[in-house]
Structure 1
Amino acid sequence: MKTNEVLENIKSRRSIRAYTARQVSKDDLLTILEAGAYAPNGMHLETWHFTAIRDAQKLEELNMHIKGAFAKSEDRHLQERGNSQTYCCYYHAPALVIVSNDPTQWWAAMDCACAIENMFLTAHSLGIGSCWINQLGTTCDDPEVRAYITSLGVPENHKVYGCVALGYADPAYPVKEKNLKTGTYHIV
């Protein structure tokens, strides 16, 4: 099969779930955010919003609010996470991008997914690890979580469709190899 720099970047990117404390530079973060903004989006309306957090205390507070919402859940697994002293939904990454959109646009989730993938690939090309974080998407309507993310700059009328954890991979934790599932695609 053919290959090039873009294809090799796509093939070598993996989700990182263990990070060093080294912060992502503002310049690299701006590059990653710009890449997200260049993603395809419905009718080119760009109804999304990206809220980037590099402040460790704000990230810890966000995690506590998410855990609070989990603790109130009917789901036993989420309750366990909510009551855990060690649970961290963003894997202690030094930076997190909240990707939100106007939920009245039927393509909002798809737009956000495209933007997140652009951010992942750009981060990887810069030597920065990333991981999709879902927990805020399931808790953003909890009153305490909503108030907190609004205070961070997430528009009040937006739903969170995903978050991007960003940081440098901790070398003590090996990254899994990717094995393609047989039969994933065929040509007619």
Structure 2
Amino acid sequence: MKLETLMSIKERRSVRSYRKEQISKEELDAVLEAGTYAASGMGRQPAKMVVIQEPELIAKLSKMNGAVMGADSDPFYGAPTVVIVFADTNAGTWLQDGSLVMGNLMLAAYAVGLGSCWINRAKEMFESAEGKALMKEWGIADTYAGVACCILGYADGPLPEAKPRKNDYIVRV
């Protein structure tokens, strides 16, 4: 039994405050490799990950994401690394497959001592003209859609406490 894995699942939390210090290449590579091992429908692996560490581009993406939700705040919480997960919509399971990549990224981040958080609105960001232009610049085909952004960095403070699990989470039949 792999108890370490179960503990990581139970202990990982979304981090919404980051130190400015950039994460190491080794930590990033470990997290990205975990993403490549996510399960996918029929093993098709329709996801792609785009890694952004340039502060100016992160600021641009943050503004794009904030605009989708009508906010001026930084939806990336000052994280120094953003991994955008895309998936090819030609795969019937594109959203599920991309979501599994996101789960692996966040669990691996915790395992190597990084904070992470799932940031929504990637689909809307990359449906915009600005988003489509970035995808083209990055070599991402227009059949791909944004699944989510995974922000990464060193937590600036302790991890939040887990919320209590709801009583009716599991229904046994």
What residue number does 2:107 align with? 121
- The answer to whether the 8 Å contact 1:50/1:99 transfers is yes
1:30 Cα shift? 1.1
Q: Which residue of 1 aligns with 2:33?
A: 34
- What secondary structure is seen at the aligned counterpart in 1 of 2:18? coil
Quote the offset at 1:54 in angstroms.
Answer: 1.1
Measure the CA separation in 1 of the matches of 2:136 and 2:161. 36
Runs of 4+ deviating beyond 4 Å: none
1: distance between equivalents of 2:169 and 2:90? Answer: 32
Counterpart position of 1:99: 85
How far does the alpha carbon of each residue in 1:5-52 deviate from its partner, in whole angstroms, 9 at most, with x for none? Answer: 111111000111111112111111111111011011011111210101
- Tell me, in whole angstroms, the C-alpha distance in 2 between the residues paired with 1:27 and 1:132: 21
- 1:153 Cα deviation from its structure 2 partner: 4.6
* Residue 36 of structure 2 corresponds to residue 5 of structure 1: no
2:129 corresponds in structure 1 to 143
The answer as to whether partners of 2:115 and 2:153 remain within 8 angstroms in 1 is yes
Q: Give the AA of the match of 2:6.
A: L
Give the deviation of 1:136 after TM superposition. 2.0
Name the counterpart of 2:160: 175
Once residues 130 and 140 of structure 1 are traced to their aligned partners in structure 2, the CA distance between those partners, rounded to angstroms, is 21
Give CA-to-partner distance per residue, 1:62-114, whole Å, 9 cap, x none: 223334x53xxxxxxx33x1xx2xx1121111101100011121100000111
Of the three residues 109, 117, 140, the one matched with 1:131 is 117
Identical-residue share of aligned pairs (%): 31
1:158 aligns with 2:158: no
Deviation at 1:121, TM superposition (A): 0.7
* Paired residue secondary structure (2:89): coil
Gaps of 5+ in 2: none
**8 Å Cα contact 1:66-1:145 kept in structure 2:** no
SS at match of 2:108: helix
Contact 1:66 1:136 in 2 (8 A): yes
Contact 2:38 2:97 in 1 (8 A): yes
* Structure 2 Cα separation of the partners of residues 186 and 139 of structure 1: 37
Aligned residue in 2 for 1:18: 17
- Taking structure 2 as the reference length, what is the TM-score of the superposition? 0.91
The CA deviation at 1:183 is 1.2
Alignment of 1:39-58 (within 5 A): 39-58=38-57
Instruction: Give, in whole Å, the separation in 1 of the partners of 2:129 and 2:101.
Output: 27
Q: Give the RMSD, CA atoms, in angstroms.
A: 1.9
Tell me: CA distance 1:18–1:153, structure 2 relative to 1, closer, same or farther (3 Å).
Answer: farther
CA contact (8 A) 2:13 2:159 kept: no
**Greater shift in the superposed pair: 98-107 or 55-64:** 55-64
